[in-house]
Amino acid sequence: MRYRTLGGTGIEVSTHCLGAMMFGAVGNPDHDDCVRIIHAALDQGINFVDTADMYSAGESETIVGKALRDRRDDVVLATKVHFPFTEGRNRSGNSRRWITRAVEDSLRRLGTDWIDLYQIHRPDHTTDIEETLWVLSDLVSAGKIRAFGCSAFPAEDIVEAYHVADRRGYGRFRTNQPPYSMMARGIERSVLPTCRRLGMGVLTYSPLAFGFLSGKVRKNQPLGLSARAALAPDRFDPALPANAAKYDAVEQLVEVADGIGTTLPELALAFVTTHPAVTSVITGPRTMEQLEGLITAADLTLDDKTLDRIDEIIPPGTDVYRADAAWQPQSLTDITHRRRPLADR
């Protein structure tokens, strides 16, 4: 296992980060089995674990807390806040009111006194970024978190947050967690260069492109989808024209993997960690078998010839699918951001 420094924090993390999204009701409800998977990952050299308060409505954090009970000092622990998972007003977003409550709940579920990396799960344009940075800086001063970052923030929001922090004397986002894969390379245009210029660590998610790079989705073959992937069958329906490019790309990428004697998932994981802006890639296994398959990619290095061939199949900066299905910018979702009032046209 290789290790890299997480942004400017001085914290060393493994290039593979164990994602805990599939631990709990959404994926694997067997707590004991999930704990065994986490321990196996730690035994293989992974020292970085990422979860979120909304994964299985807090159950994932509870499972991670059980697993780290006697190993907390050896693990860099990351979690996130933003999405609602209980009913009621003011129980989501990036406000001081909610973050102050949510961090205490996460600490309790995780069974720890501190969180190494506390991340804002998505932007919240109803809350001034100054308000968010202010409360996060206070949490660092209080010793409840060691550093903070953001997740799936576009480049313009990252830059705004950086300048607000600099102007107001607050701590700044040390990391960003965007989706990134061989089939979703859009962040190579501005997000990754921005993070690199600002010295931010980058921990990417969805390296298997929501299952397309798992090796189980092939043209003219029966779908071998996970239970989670099966919840969105249109995403994989080969009869839909929008999916044609995805299937074509998969077949060409399989040839690349075969040509260097590896598997498609291993190729996918190695590709992500090759980018100079990327610190660690998050992999979210549901079973021990899936973990073992992912761990083997940690030692794989891709040569320039292989990377050039991947660039030919899916050019740099190109998205074959929309990588972030959980969030759209307000500029697209709010019609008033796209159309002048009728009287002003």
What's the mean per-residue pLDDT of the chain? 93
Q: Would you say residue 88 lies in a domain?
A: yes
What's the sign of the alpha-carbon dihedral 31, 37, 40, 42? negative
Name which of 42, 90, 89 is nearest 68 in CA terms: 42
| Total number of domains constituting the chain | 1
Q: Would you say residue 107 lies in a domain?
A: yes
Distance, in Å, from the CA atom of 300 to the CA atom of 259, rounded to the nearest integer, reads 14
Domain at 70, CATH number: 3.20.20.100
Residues of the chain with pLDDT under 70: 223-233, 325-326
Q: Would you say residue 1 lies in a domain?
A: no
pLDDT tens digits for 122-157? 999 999 999 999 999 999 999 999 999 999 999 999
pTM of the full structure: 0.93
The whole-number pLDDT of residue 150 equals 98
Q: Would you say residue 345 lies in a domain?
A: no
Active site residues: 55
Domain boundaries, position 289? 10-338
The whole-number pLDDT of residue 66 equals 98
pLDDT tens digits for 30-82? 999 999 999 999 999 999 999 999 999 999 999 999 999 999 999 999 999 99
Q: Would you say residue 4 lies in a domain?
A: no
Q: Would you say residue 159 lies in a domain?
A: yes
Q: Would you say residue 343 lies in a domain?
A: no
Q: Would you say residue 214 lies in a domain?
A: yes
CB of 150 closer than 8 Å to CB of 119:
yes
